[in-house]
Structure 1
Amino acid sequence: MFDRYSPFVRPYLSTRSLEPENQETPIQFIRNEIVNTRLFFRRNHFSYPTLTFSNFWIPVKGSVATPLMLLMQDLYNFKSKTIKVVLECSGNKRSLFEPKVFGEQWEKGAISQGIWRGVPLSTLLKLAGISENAKEVVVEGYDYGKRTDLKGVYSYTRSLPIEKALHPDTIIAYEYNHKPISFKHGYPFRLIVPQWYGMASVKWIKQITVIDNSFEGPFQSIDYVYYPNKDDNKGAYPVTKINVDSTIQKPLHMEVLDTGKHLIQGIAWTGGGYIKEIEISTDNGKTWTNVLVENEEKTPYEWTSWSYEWSVQNKGEYTIIVRVTDSHNRTQPKIPFWNRKGYGYNATDKIKVKVE
C-alpha cells in the first residue's frame, strides 16, 4: 500500500483539532486507490455521539404515505449497492487561501477514497411513498452540540433536493471496504452522496424526513455556503458539487532531490464527468506537458492516479505545477475562488523542490 517505508514506519493522520476531532489523511504517502479506515480523514463539528439501542433504527417520516421504522437487519435484507467513492471535505486546502480565512486550517489531506456498500436512499423513500409535493429529504445525525454563533444546541442535519435523494447511487451505507463502517466514520449508518462535498454525507443517521419546503438548518443555510464577499452575504450560494482538482503526492513540497530521473505522482478528481486532461509544468508554468490519462477502468466517482517521469540534469530550484480538466471542460484555475468560509479550494496544485 505504501512505498519507501518499512513495516515499522507507517504514516498516520495529521491532527487539526482534538475536540472535536479533525484529522487529515496523509495523502502525500498514499499509494493505493483505497484508503484504509485507519487513515481515512475525520471531520467533526461536535463530540462523537454515544451509541444506544436506538441508533440501530432509522425512522423515515414526513411527507410520506407510510412512515417507516427500519432496523439494521431490515437494511441488510434490501438489495444493496457497492460503489467506490472519493469523499472530500469542502474545506480541504483551506489553509492555502490568500487572504487567509477562519476555520479548520486543512492542508491537502481532507480527502479519502474507498468502497462503500449500502442501500439506495431511493429504496427507502419509494417504500415509504413520498408525496407529490416533496421537495427535499432531511437527514439528521446523532452528533450534536453548541455553536459559537447561535444560542442553543443543534444536531448535524442536512437536506438533499429530491432529485439527488432519489439518485440510485445516493446510499445509506453500512460497510466500508467490505467491513462495517467504523464508529468514527458513522457506524452504524452513514449517508454517502457521490460527487458532492463530504458535508452532505451525514454520519450516525438518526432519522430521515421528507419535506415539501426548503430546509433552513444552520448547517444548510449558514455553513456550507459560498460567501464571495468578506463583509456581506451578497451573491451567496450553496456548496454542492466537488470542484475539479488535483494534488501532487510525490515529491514532497520543499524536498531536496538529486539530478537524474524522478517520478512525479498525484491524483486528480472531479464532481462531474471524468478527468479528461492532466498537464504538468516543471518550470513554474512557462511550458506544459500532457500526462497520459487512463480512465477506461474507472468508475464515475473515484480519483484518477497519474504519474510523470521527470528527467532533470541542472541543479537549482524548480516549481512544479499540475492542472487538470474534466469532461465538462472545467479546468483548475490559477487563482482559487476566494470565499469567506474557505470552501472549494481548487487552484492548480504547486510545489517547490531543490535539485542538488
Structure 2
Amino acid sequence: MSNPQDRLNEPTLSTRGLQPENKETPISFLNTDIVPSHLFFKRNHFSYPKLTYSNYWLPINGLVKTPKIFSLQEIVKLPSKTIKVILECAGNKRSLFEPKVFGEQWEKGAISQGYWTGVSLTTLLEATGINPKAKEVLIEGYDKGKRTDKNNEYSYSRSLPLDKALDPDTIIAYEYNSQPIPFKHGYPLRLIVPNWYGMASVKWIKQISLISSEFKGPYQSIDYVYYPNKENDTDSFPVTIMNVNSTIQEPVHMEILNTGTHVIKGIAWTGAGEVSKVEVSTDHGDTWLEAEIEPTYRSYGWVSWTYEWSVYDPGEYTIMSKSTDTLGRTQPLKPFWNRKGYGYNAIDKVEVKIE
C-alpha cells in the first residue's frame, strides 16, 4: 500500500479557471517524461459534454464515396498504432507576454505528453473513399456552448488540410498510456495531431466531414490565429505547427540556493524536425554553453536536458535556456507578440539567489 504522506507530497494541477475547467501541469515537479493522466493539463472552451457511451457512433460523411458510421467496437478492432506525442496549448506561457494580452494566463504548464493509441485517420478515410473535390477534413467535437463575442451556440470544430489529415501519424485515439482516455481528456475518441498545437487535437469527436472549401468556424477563423497588430487584423495567419521551445524545470523561479554545484534541468521541444541542441546561460546571455540532451528515439515528444552549474559567488543570477532544432529554428530573445497571446517561445528564464 502507498503511504498517505506520499500522496500529500505529490504535485497537483494549478487552476486557471473552473467554468470551464482549465488547469496546468506542474511542469517543474514531474519525475517522469510520461505525464500521468491526473497531471495532464486541462484546456476547455465549454463545460464538459454529456455523452452516452453505450450508444457511441462515429459518422464520416461529406465528400466521401461511401459515407459510413463506425461503432467504437469496430474502430478498436482496426490496425492500431501507439505514438508518443506532446500536446501544448497554443496559449502556453501567455502570462509572460509584454505587453500583457487577454485570455487564460497560462504559465509554463499548459503542456503534457504521453503515449496515445488509436487508428490512423487515413485508415478510416480509405474505408469511405475520398471524393477528388475534398480539400479539408472537418472534425466536430461534442463540446459546445456560447462564445463571449457571439450569441449563437457553437460546437468546438476544427479542420485539417487533406495532406495533414492523411499523415499516418494523425490518429483517432482511444487510449492514453495504455488506458482508455480519461473522459476529461476526450473519451471515447480524440483526434491527435502530432507537431501542431493542441487546439487541433479535437476531443469527444462527434463526426468527421470532408469539405471542398476552407473551414471558417470561430475556432479556426477568429481564435487560433496570430494577430500581430493590436488595432486590426492585418497580416494575420493561422496557428498550426509548434514553435521550437524550452522550459527550465529546476531550479524553480526565485529559489534560494547555496553556493556549490547544481544541476539545471528542463525540457525542449519543436513542431518541425528535432531538437538539435539546448544551450544554457547564467550570465544574462553573454556566454552560452551546451546542455546534455538525454538520448531519445525519434518521437513527437520533448527531450530532457541537464546542465551542471558550479557557482561560488553569492548573488542574484538569471538562468536562461535556448533550444535549436534541425531546421535551424532557435528560440528568440523576445517572443513574437500577437494580441491573442499564442506561440510564446522566447528564451526561458528563471531568477535564483545564491547565498
Global fold match (TM > 0.5): yes
**Whole-angstrom CA distance in 1 between matches of 2:242 and 2:325:** 12
54-63 vs 268-277, greater mean Cα deviation: 54-63
Tell me, what secondary structure is at the counterpart of 2:45?
A: coil
Partner deviation per Cα, 1:177-232 (whole Å, 9 max, x = no partner): 00000000000000000000000000000000000111100001000000000000
How far residue 55 of structure 1 moved from its aligned partner, in angstroms, is 6.3
Partner of 1:119: 119
**Whole-angstrom CA distance in 1 between matches of 2:294 and 2:353:** 30
Question: Are 2:191 and 1:191 equivalent residues in the alignment?
Answer: yes
Kindly indicate whether the alpha-carbon contact (under 8 Å) linking 1:157 and 1:217 is maintained by their aligned counterparts in 2.
yes
Partner of 1:337: 336
Partner of 1:318: 317
**Whole-angstrom CA distance in 2 between matches of 1:34 and 1:55:** 32
Tell me, what secondary structure is at the counterpart of 2:124?
A: helix
Partner of 2:90: 90
Kindly indicate whether the alpha-carbon contact (under 8 Å) linking 2:53 and 2:188 is maintained by their aligned counterparts in 1.
no
The one-letter code sitting in structure 1 at the alignment partner of 2:265 is Q
**Whole-angstrom CA distance in 1 between matches of 2:278 and 2:52:** 48
Question: Are 2:148 and 1:153 equivalent residues in the alignment?
Answer: no
Partner of 1:100: 100
Kindly indicate whether the alpha-carbon contact (under 8 Å) linking 2:83 and 2:299 is maintained by their aligned counterparts in 1.
no
**Whole-angstrom CA distance in 2 between matches of 1:92 and 1:298:** 25
Question: Are 2:234 and 1:240 equivalent residues in the alignment?
Answer: no
- Residue 51 to residue 221, structure 1, CA distance change in 2 (3 Å): same
The one-letter code sitting in structure 2 at the alignment partner of 1:277 is K
**Whole-angstrom CA distance in 2 between matches of 1:209 and 1:92:** 29
How far residue 151 of structure 1 moved from its aligned partner, in angstroms, is 1.6
How far residue 93 of structure 1 moved from its aligned partner, in angstroms, is 0.2
How far residue 54 of structure 1 moved from its aligned partner, in angstroms, is 7.5
- Residue 53 to residue 278, structure 1, CA distance change in 2 (3 Å): closer
Kindly indicate whether the alpha-carbon contact (under 8 Å) linking 2:280 and 2:291 is maintained by their aligned counterparts in 1.
yes
Q: What aligned pairs does 1:246-261 form with structure 2 within 5 A after superposition?
A: 246-261=246-261
Kindly indicate whether the alpha-carbon contact (under 8 Å) linking 1:249 and 1:265 is maintained by their aligned counterparts in 2.
yes
How far residue 293 of structure 1 moved from its aligned partner, in angstroms, is 2.8
**Whole-angstrom CA distance in 2 between matches of 1:342 and 1:55:** 39
**Whole-angstrom CA distance in 1 between matches of 2:62 and 2:51:** 25
Kindly indicate whether the alpha-carbon contact (under 8 Å) linking 1:84 and 1:299 is maintained by their aligned counterparts in 2.
no
Tell me, what secondary structure is at the counterpart of 1:137?
A: strand
- Residue 225 to residue 271, structure 1, CA distance change in 2 (3 Å): same
Question: Are 2:208 and 1:208 equivalent residues in the alignment?
Answer: yes
Kindly indicate whether the alpha-carbon contact (under 8 Å) linking 2:316 and 2:353 is maintained by their aligned counterparts in 1.
yes
How far residue 283 of structure 1 moved from its aligned partner, in angstroms, is 1.1
Aligned residues: 351
Kindly indicate whether the alpha-carbon contact (under 8 Å) linking 2:225 and 2:236 is maintained by their aligned counterparts in 1.
yes
Kindly indicate whether the alpha-carbon contact (under 8 Å) linking 1:245 and 1:347 is maintained by their aligned counterparts in 2.
yes
**Whole-angstrom CA distance in 1 between matches of 2:30 and 2:57:** 35
Tell me, what secondary structure is at the counterpart of 1:219?
A: helix
Kindly indicate whether the alpha-carbon contact (under 8 Å) linking 1:55 and 1:188 is maintained by their aligned counterparts in 2.
no
Partner deviation per Cα, 1:144-186 (whole Å, 9 max, x = no partner): 0000101210000000000000000000000000000000000
**Structure 2 residue runs without a partner (length 5+):** none
**Whole-angstrom CA distance in 1 between matches of 2:155 and 2:54:** 16
Q: What aligned pairs does 1:35-74 form with structure 2 within 5 A after superposition?
A: 35-53=35-53, 56-74=56-74
Task: Give the TM-score normalised by structure 1.
Answer: 0.97
Partner deviation per Cα, 1:301-346 (whole Å, 9 max, x = no partner): 0100001111111100000000010000000000000001000000
